[in-house]
Amino acid sequence: MIPVHATLAEPQYFSVLEKLLFLILVVASGALFWRRFGPILHRILASRKDPDFHLDHLGRRLWDFFAEVICQAKVIRQRPLPGLAHACVFWGFCAFALVTLNHAAVGFGVGFLDPAGFFGRFYFYLAAAFAIACAAGIFGLFARRFFVRPRWLGAKVSYESGIIAGLIFLLMITYLAAFFTTDGTTAARVLWWVHTLALLVFVPIIPHTKHLHLVLSPATVFLSRGEFSKIPPLVGDEDFGLVTGKDLTQLVSLQAYSCVECGRCSEHCPATNTGKELNPREIVLGVRAYLNGPGPASEEPLLGKYNSQTAVFQCTTCGACEFQCPVGIEHLPIMVGLRRGAVNTGTWEDDYGAKLFNQLERGSNALGISALERDKFIQKQGLPVFDGTQEYCLWLGCMGAYDPKGREIVTAFARVMDYLGTSYGVLKKEKCTGDPVRRLGNDLVFQTLAEENLKNLAQNKVKKIVSICPHCVRTIQEDWKAYGTPPEIEHHTEFMARHADRLPKQASNEKVAYHDPCYLGRYRDVYDEPRALVQISGRLVEAPRHKERSFCCGAGGGLAFLGEETGERVSHMRAAELVATGAQTVGTACPFCNSMFRDALGEMNGTAPQLLDVAQLIARGLPEPIAAVATTAPGGSTRE
Amino acid sequence: MRIVVAIKQVPERDAQVRIDASAKWIEESDMQYAMNESDAYALEEALQLKEKNGGEVIVLSVGPERVGTTIREALAKGADRAIHVDCNDLANRDALAVARLLADAIKAENADLVLTGLQSDDLGYGQTGVILAELLGVPHASLILTVEKTDGGLKVKRELEAGWFQEIELPMPAVLAIQSGGNKLRYATLMGIKKAKTKEMRVAAASDLGAAPAPLAVLEGIALPQKQRTTQILPGDAKQAAAALVEKLKFEARVL
């Protein structure tokens, strides 16, 4: 029979012996915790200081802390059901703060919350509600891990997770059961001790498992680098990136120890999804294992026993991992850092890579094509040359200048700009922005390219740039900052969207599946502008993985230049997803995505949808230009 | 093995070349320079030989101050030290004069092997390496793709035409003119460039090595090739068209 106004039962009296035993157990539990956590903390603090980390933008950090940690926003949003279950467990823990404090106080005879008093009853009932939610949550998570077995949690079942789940469940049950006993009874005493032991066993387990995130992740989220894919500068003559343990920084170490092994990063990784060796979670755990093994002062290479060089060079730098991580791990600086360590010291031996580096050392573009071809293209299309008087410099980039599809995109966009009456010009000379070598970690070639380009832009008095390639936009705006002050730059979809009201609306019901490029979406937060433009030209349909969850085309990270892929092709996987939407057209906003899908769609059986850049979608709705240039001279002969 | 690699700094592959006012050379004021392509392969071969057999690779270049960048690139890729023969009047020196400068600089080094590129990307004479061998009084072989050290000296693979190759054995010391494409080129690394700062680069003035003799071959002038394509459709039936064609080939194209 449940008493009508049940209150939390507490043991009324503890003998001196019991109090002593409790004290000894608390101290032992704390000592065991520190025995493991102390060295971890030491390893984090003993790591090199991050050269570009400043504890600034406190407002934003506090907001991120509030949203991500307290409200569990990303945890829930990106994996709703398990996320909610986890949130219940976390909120339960938070709500239990006073409960636990009081529980311990009771053990020493100084309990301060009267279960029969007004506040006591209110609080304990509130905590009970949280306890129910927490127990349900932890049970759900346990069932998911042990019975449902989603593959992103790994093939091996984690018994330590089972133990932790059991302990949490026990804590909740012993708390709730105390409402059904009476003060001072043996039952209440037993419940108190079971709850206490569960707690005191739980605490030292924390630093031995991924549950260390309980302690570290609030700090990790708060201490983020501050920007997406923030690649740190190299400092001094001895810094080549992440070569050995000595190069690991405090943020990297903190993040490595915060990993909860949830597998959200791996779940969205294009390499992991296509059977490659690369698994972002394993990279982070490899760093953690290195820290636990050789440690932050070691000269053993980071790529070797603990992480594979092959895996690291399969990364497209798409950023899905960094975006997904609920505890604030920033994978991209780690990946690029490891690559730098291999490339800047010459330990990366790859024929395609060496060819790319040599091409960019002696030539102007990543494709190894003569610059004369770019001149010919400009002449043939009649593109105006930038002379300092125009408002915009149209940056062609390697794809826009040399790739056939890239050129089509440039031509289409030039048509749009002509229609809008924009004053623009293209530079006489361009060198590759260095994006592929930047992502591959070759700082020597990247620095040369950045400096030469900045000099060229300054000499030509370029103030504003518009580009068709998100990689160029990102590299010019962010990565060149290390070597000078780049001019303003925007992507052509941002430009066109600003003038959307002047672009003719097309009466078309054609379904267009828009693919968010990684370097425009996750890197730049540009999602709505291209969609507004797509809506002008047809009917927008979304792929299952879209916006921040967009699945990479496979070209990034310099991979487009590295030869054949192993396993299933990333571009084919994504193309299949886009085609499955039933769209008649695939819309892209990046010449690399365009190139990858051109190949993938070309290999599909049956009629593949057409592939068009957003500029081409807009341009097809423009009226034809007024004057057509005569190409045949009188006399029946043609001259070239 | 002590290997000397002679490299030349030439205008960049992709450069937009303009003839200068004198019409005897190209406009150099805004030119970008890079290492001569076959010289890069010579350097790669030298570095691989050093990795296999031990020893030292010395890089040598004749030219004005700007060749320092290319020399440092060679040091960054793994050469041990460098000699820069500072010379501002390369335009007045023919292949023989340049080979003399190289020979003077090399003589003091007691090299086992001298590697040069097959020909330069700008002048393309293909002579300097061969003349150098003669001046040094050592055997040479040219169009070499790969080099192997043997007990007796060297075994080299030489490129002929139509996919044929030739293997030659020769003693050291020797001069080899290396053809492009025999190896995959390594890339210059940041670590290499930093290390290169500490490597020795000895500068010798060309004038110290003797005055330039009057060139035996003089570059009279250079011009850009005129590209012209005209298509003429010859009217009439086959017989008439053939007659018209023969006339054009005889008197216009002058190939018959």
A81, exposed or middle or buried, with CB in 10 Å at 0-12, 13-18, 19+?
exposed
- The per-residue pLDDT for A619 is 96
Is B93 part of any domain? yes
Q: Which residues pair with A426 in a beta bridge?
A: A385
The domains of chain A, with CATH numbers, are 16-222 (1.20.950), 245-343 (1.10.1060.10), 366-498 (3.40.50), 505-619 (3.40.50)
Is B216 part of any domain? no
Cβ-Cβ contacts under 8 Å, A238 against chain B: 194
Cβ-Cβ contacts under 8 Å, B12 against chain A: 362-363
Q: Which residues contact A286 (CB under 8 A, 6 or more apart)?
A: A306, A307
- Does residue B23 sit in the same domain as residue B124? yes
- Does residue B232 sit in the same domain as residue B205? no
Q: How many angstroms separate the Cα of A606 from the Cα of each of A37, A565, A587, B97?
A: 59, 24, 19, 68
- Does residue B238 sit in the same domain as residue B154? no
Lowest-confidence pick of A219-228, A514-523, B25-34, B142-151 = B25-34
| Tally of CA atoms within 13 A in the half-sphere of A570 that contains its CB | 28
Give chain B's count of helices (H) and strands (E).
Answer: 6, 11
Q: pLDDT digit string (tens) for B50-107?
A: 999 999 999 999 999 999 999 999 999 999 999 999 998 887 788 999 999 999 999 9
- The per-residue pLDDT for A106 is 87
Residues in A 438-477 with any Cβ partner in B closer than 8 A? 442-445
Residue A331 pLDDT class (50, 70, 90 cuts): very high
Is B138 part of any domain? yes
- The per-residue pLDDT for B15 is 78
- Does residue B188 sit in the same domain as residue B232? no
Q: Which residues contact A101 (CB under 8 A, 6 or more apart)?
A: none
- Does residue B140 sit in the same domain as residue B237? no
Phi, psi torsion values for A432, nearest 5 degrees: -50, 140
Q: pLDDT digit string (tens) for B174-226?
A: 999 999 999 999 999 999 999 999 999 999 988 776 666 788 888 888 888 88
Question: How close B11 gets to chain A, by Cα (Å)?
Answer: 10
Q: pLDDT digit string (tens) for A107-162?
A: 888 888 888 888 888 898 999 999 999 999 999 999 999 999 998 888 888 888 99
- Does residue B182 sit in the same domain as residue B233? no
Is B217 part of any domain? no
- Does residue B51 sit in the same domain as residue B165? yes
- The per-residue pLDDT for B210 is 65
| Count: domains in chain B | 2
Phi, psi torsion values for B204, nearest 5 degrees: -120, 130
Is B219 part of any domain? no
- Does residue B25 sit in the same domain as residue B55? yes
Interchain contact, B230 vs A637, CB within 8 Å: yes
Please tell me which of the candidates A354, A444, A639 has its beta carbon nearest to residue B184: A354
CB atoms within 10 A of CB A102: 23
Q: What is the ipTM of this complex?
A: 0.85
Please tell me which of the candidates A362, A636, A637 has its beta carbon nearest to residue B12: A362
Question: How close A367 gets to chain B, by Cα (Å)?
Answer: 12
Is B223 part of any domain? no
- Does residue B182 sit in the same domain as residue B112? yes
Give the residue numbers spanning the domain of B237: 228-256
- Does residue B202 sit in the same domain as residue B239? no
| Residue of B8, B190, B228, B248 best to disrupt the A interface, most CBs of A under 10 A | B190
Q: pLDDT digit string (tens) for B115-126?
A: 999 999 999 999
Tell me whether A373 touches chain B (CB under 8 Å).
no
- State the DSSP H helix or E strand holding residue B141, giving kind and residue range, or none if neither: strand B140-149
- Does residue B68 sit in the same domain as residue B128? yes
Which chain B residue is nearest to residue A239, measuring alpha carbons? Answer: B191
- Does residue B45 sit in the same domain as residue B164? yes
Tell me whether B31 touches chain A (CB under 8 Å).
no
Interchain contact, B12 vs A444, CB within 8 Å: no
Q: pLDDT digit string (tens) for A500-514?
A: 999 999 989 999 999
Q: pLDDT digit string (tens) for A526-551?
A: 999 999 999 999 999 999 999 999 99
Is B51 part of any domain? yes
Distance CA A140, CA B28 (A): 74
Distance CA B60, CA A18 (A): 86
CB atoms within 10 A of CB B160: 9
Distance CA A507, CA B14 (A): 46
Cβ-Cβ contacts under 8 Å, A446 against chain B: none
Please tell me which of the candidates A237, A240, A351 has its beta carbon nearest to residue B184: A351
Interchain contact, A362 vs B35, CB within 8 Å: yes
Is B218 part of any domain? no
Interchain contact, B184 vs A638, CB within 8 Å: no
- Give the CATH number for residue B115: 3.40.50.620
Cβ-Cβ contacts under 8 Å, B8 against chain A: none
Tell me whether B186 touches chain A (CB under 8 Å).
yes
Please tell me which of the candidates A354, A375, A443 has its beta carbon nearest to residue B190: A443
Residue A627 pLDDT class (50, 70, 90 cuts): low
Tell me whether B117 touches chain A (CB under 8 Å).
no
CB atoms within 10 A of CB A593: 30
Which chain A residue is nearest to residue B231, measuring alpha carbons? Answer: A637
Q: What is the value of pTM for the model shown? A: 0.90
Tell me whether A637 touches chain B (CB under 8 Å).
yes
Interchain contact, A444 vs B231, CB within 8 Å: no
Interchain contact, A444 vs B184, CB within 8 Å: no
Interchain contact, B189 vs A346, CB within 8 Å: yes
